[in-house]
Structure 1
Amino acid sequence: MTEKQTWSQRFESALHPAIARFNASISFDIELIEYDITGSQAHAKMLAHTGIISHAEGEALFSGLEQVRQEYRQGQFQPGIDAEDVHFAVEKRLTEIVGDVGKKLHTARSRNDQVGTDTRLYLRDQIHQIRQLLRDFQTVLVDIAEKNVETLIPGYTHLQRAQPLSLAHHLLAYFQMAQRDWERLADVYSRVNISPLGCGALAGTTFPIDRHYTAKLLDFDHVYANSLDGVSDRDFAIEFLCAASIIMVHLSRLSEEVILWASEEFRFVTLKDSCATGSSIMPQKKNPDVPELVRGKTGRVFGHLQAMLVIMKGLPLAYNKDLQEDKEGIFDSVNTVKACLEAMTILLQEGLEFRHQRLATAVTEDFANATDVADYLAARGVPFREAYNIVGKVVKTSIAAGKLLKDLQLEEWQQIHPAFAADIYEAISPRQVVAARNSYGGTGFVQVRQAIINARTQLGVS
């Protein structure tokens, strides 16, 4: 049998060893140790501030907790399974350092509001880090876009050639996705940054605590207005996991494109050795491992979101042990998102090269300029739907003849409709097709250059 725990005087015997291992969270919630110490230091200050303990006791608790922090950082404090969780581990070590005054730390507090505080402090820190990684990712996208405003790439709908695009415009679409991710995390942060400290187990406390004082010490914007809600709320975790999942959606979409672009069928990019691997039996292979792993890891984060929703859907108020299961999913999602953002940023910056000649050829191989023929006629007074039908017939007959639109002779154009003139060839050239789409937010070069300026401005916002 294991050693009896702090709460176990109510019980005749200790937990069965297997149940103790099953019940313990120290193996993963040790991740929270520094946040637990920070929260406990604020709690100790508040106890002294309100006269619940003396100032001398408050100072002893604060300095003792700081010693625990330093011991952990130096590898001298490494609690094991007997500690059950990070909160008991810190309190036990604190009491060894400062004596019986350490037992006063838990006055007017429960593990329920304590773990809620720790988790929010952790997520706050991680959101800042993820937002910075998003900025790094966005910066690389803009850097590449700036060099490729007039580089053309086929645009697709339904994975069929649709219309040519500026490569910069294509990359800036991912910049905008990441911008929404950056903004979304700021919104999530506002609901993470609410303090449950002082809610107690579920009903508050009889001690004259000052919850706003601890909230200010810990830089929380608000405190929970309802103690039941404060200890049982995990909306903030669900929102974070949702935001993390959307980040992974965006990274996975870009990953899929890079995988396609690197294939022999597309040949739009070349993978550099620093970000690719080979086959164990096929010496010619160069595999896009980074985007494939990002695409694969996306499912992990989705799974954690689903798990959190399922955990919460049937829980009565207030705290339930099920909520111990929130941490591993949060921790893994944080680590996965950070690793994937870093890897994709490196891949874009150092791991691939766009094959400009292949791209230039690719935009001349199809009928992606057909809409521009219809627009040409519409600009000369032909109703667009009529023009659309005319061009549809032209494409059909051209395919049958093995020709592209650019291969038609002027006489053939004029047989189709007398509005066609010699300038039709310039109008349907890939570069002009792209340049002409100068509506706000379009792929026209003027718009793309302005979009890059706007993106640089957004990157300067903290």
Structure 2
Amino acid sequence: QPAQPTTLAHYLLAMAEVLGRDIVRLRRAFEGVNHSPLGACAITTTGFPIDRARTAALLGFDTPTTNSYASIGAIDYFTEMLASTSVMLINVGRFVQDFLLLAMQEFDGIRLSDGYVQTSSIMPQKRNPVALEHVRILASKALGQATGVFISAHNTPFGDINDVEDDLQPLIANTLRDATRSLSLFAAALSTATFNTETLRRRAGEGFITVSELTDILVRRDKLAFRTAHQIVASCVRLAHERGVALSYDLLQTVACGIINRPVNLTPEEVTMALDPENFVKVRGILGGPAPRETRRAVALERDQERDDEQWYKTRKEALESYPQRLRTAVYSFNPTSESRQGRNP
């Protein structure tokens, strides 16, 4: 049922906030997995004086793992990663469902570019938003594989056992591959999509969806109890719907006199303003609201976070790409005669 009008930016910022939390979880999962188990050996480390911090650094890890038994027995290095990915996929699936509804002719809210739709072999007019359907099934497939890993690992012994190793690794890899494909396709499809803002703007004033502001202004200006104001406005909506007319100043006063035995202290202009969708958005300017000023603040905040995420990714990527060279340099330092071969080694 129609609820309240908002803006496209407000909805997209909600997406950004939710996906931003997904990024936080994925970053945390990376921090959890980026510890080197080298030196834990079979179970109890080794009697050789290995510097585990040094080997961890050479291999590109942040630190070594701490407890050697946990190093060979724990599986949260992949379950945390899959859990974070699963939460993200659930969020993506919900967003995709909204966009698929908006793409229906009955809603006509979004139009994908030609590269992301498919025609019908029989019906020339069709523009099926198949890209979004592929996003949805890839997300569902990845989520199903992740769930399979969780079920397989459930109630297994805490140790180095095959139940949580070789046979699960392909499922884990496939989960991450399909999740990446889903997100990449979703981003690509939306990057070239256009929104039918005129249709959305027109519908923002339909279905009596601004009347909660009329209720609020009756409370603010006429000092009515909210329950009473709600009763008056609900009665106005019911009568307007039954008569097939718009909610007007005269109808409001007639209903008010029948409920509180007097007209309300609002002018016709104030009633019109209260029912205007742009005014509805404008007055909701507190933290998290859709008003223009708050929207600009929220966009700036998301842009800052985006830059931080990009820098984090760049730094991590460079570290992972550079560790092989650091490792070779360390090895060559023990065998200077091999330095001449350094450039030829992969």
What range is the shorter-chain TM-score in?
0.7 to 0.9
Q: How does 1:368-407 map to 2 (within 5 A)?
A: 368-380=209-221, 381-405=223-247
Q: How does 1:10-25 map to 2 (within 5 A)?
A: none
Tell me how far 1:368 sits from its aligned partner. 0.4
Q: Is the 8 A contact 2:210 2:280 kept in 1?
A: yes
Q: Is the 8 A contact 2:56 2:62 kept in 1?
A: yes
Q: Does 1:308 align with 2:149?
A: yes
Distance in 2 (alpha carbons) for counterparts of 1:300 and 1:221:
32
Match of 1:420 in 2: 266
Q: CA separation of 1:317/1:455 partners in 2, compared to 1, >3 Å: closer, same or farther?
A: closer
Distance in 1 (alpha carbons) for counterparts of 2:89 and 2:233:
40
Structure 1 residue runs of 5 or longer lacking an equivalent are: 1-159
Of residues 431, 434, 441 in structure 1, which corresponds to 2:278? 431
Identity of aligned residues (%): 30
Of residues 432, 447, 450 in structure 1, which corresponds to 2:297? 450
Distance in 2 (alpha carbons) for counterparts of 1:308 and 1:429:
52
Distance in 2 (alpha carbons) for counterparts of 1:431 and 1:286:
32
| Aligned-residue CA RMSD (Å) | 1.6
Q: How does 1:59-78 map to 2 (within 5 A)?
A: none
Distance in 1 (alpha carbons) for counterparts of 2:152 and 2:198:
53
Q: Is the 8 A contact 2:233 2:252 kept in 1?
A: no
Match of 1:327 in 2: 169
CA deviations over 1:166-195 (Å, ceiling 9, x no partner): 111111111101111111112112210111
Q: Is the 8 A contact 1:241 1:301 kept in 2?
A: no
Q: Is the 8 A contact 2:43 2:69 kept in 1?
A: yes
Q: Is the 8 A contact 1:277 1:287 kept in 2?
A: yes
Q: CA separation of 1:401/1:229 partners in 2, compared to 1, >3 Å: closer, same or farther?
A: same
Alignment partner of 1:179: what SS? helix
Matched positions, count: 299
Aligned partner of 2:253: which letter?
Q
Alignment partner of 1:161: what SS? coil
Of residues 208, 211, 214 in structure 1, which corresponds to 2:52? 211
Match of 1:34 in 2: none
Distance in 2 (alpha carbons) for counterparts of 1:209 and 1:271:
57
CA deviations over 1:207-266 (Å, ceiling 9, x no partner): 332222211212323322322211122102011111111221222122111110010111
Match of 1:59 in 2: none
Aligned partner of 1:270: which letter?
R
Tell me how far 1:454 sits from its aligned partner. 1.4
Q: Does 1:244 align with 2:91?
A: no
CA deviations over 1:259-302 (Å, ceiling 9, x no partner): 10010111112222111111232222111111111111222222
Distance in 2 (alpha carbons) for counterparts of 1:252 and 1:168:
20
Aligned partner of 1:419: which letter?
N
Structure 2 residue runs of 5 or longer lacking an equivalent are: 257-262, 312-346
* TM-score, normalisation: structure 1: 0.62
Q: Does 1:267 align with 2:108?
A: yes
Q: Is the 8 A contact 1:441 1:447 kept in 2?
A: yes
Distance in 1 (alpha carbons) for counterparts of 2:198 and 2:66:
62
| Higher relative contact order (CA closer than 8 Å, sequence separation 6+) | 2
Aligned partner of 2:110: which letter?
V
